[in-house]
């Protein structure tokens, strides 16, 4: 019997509980399985334990937008923008600025 993706990721996570990529993969998988609460838990863990894992900020912000928590989304985008500048990741910076400005425009309409 084939092991499903979530079970496999959870098993990997047992061996590498502090691996940011596995936490990110678990968050993504929980979102795919329509479990935003679990996804949120993993994204928040990433922000707290691995703040330089830059991909987290875009997806966590988008999750907050889906949960209709725009203020939290803007906060996360702002944190991500600061981190992207700190680690000099221009691609992430551009993406985060784009979603931040888009949400600001949407809220101001």
Please report, for the chain, the start and end positions of each structural domain, with discontinuous segments joined by +: 19-108
Residue range 19-108 forms a domain whose CATH class is mainly alpha
Q: What is the per-residue pLDDT for 3?
A: 55
Q: What is the per-residue pLDDT for 2?
A: 45
User: How far apart are alpha carbons 75 and 77 in whole angstroms?
Assistant: 5
Q: What is the per-residue pLDDT for 1?
A: 36
Q: What is the pLDDT along the chain (109 residues), one digit of tens a residue?
A: 345 999 999 999 999 999 999 999 999 999 999 999 999 999 999 999 999 999 999 999 999 999 999 999 999 999 999 999 999 999 999 999 999 999 999 999 8
Q: What is the per-residue pLDDT for 109?
A: 87
């Amino acid at each position: 019997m084939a092991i499903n993706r979530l079970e496999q990721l959870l098993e990997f996570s047992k061996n590498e509980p502090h691996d940011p990529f596995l936490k990110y993969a678990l968050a993504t998988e929980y979102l795919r399985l329509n479990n935003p609460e679990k996804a949120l838990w993993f994204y928040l863990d990433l922000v707290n334990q691995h703040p330089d894992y830059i991909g987290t900020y875009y997806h966590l912000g988008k999750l907050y937008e889906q949960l209709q928590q725009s203020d939290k989304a803007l906060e996360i985008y702002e944190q991500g923008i600061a981190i992207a500048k700190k680690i000099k990741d221009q691609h992430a910076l551009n993406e985060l600025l784009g979603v931040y400005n888009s949400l600001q425009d949407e809220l101001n309409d």
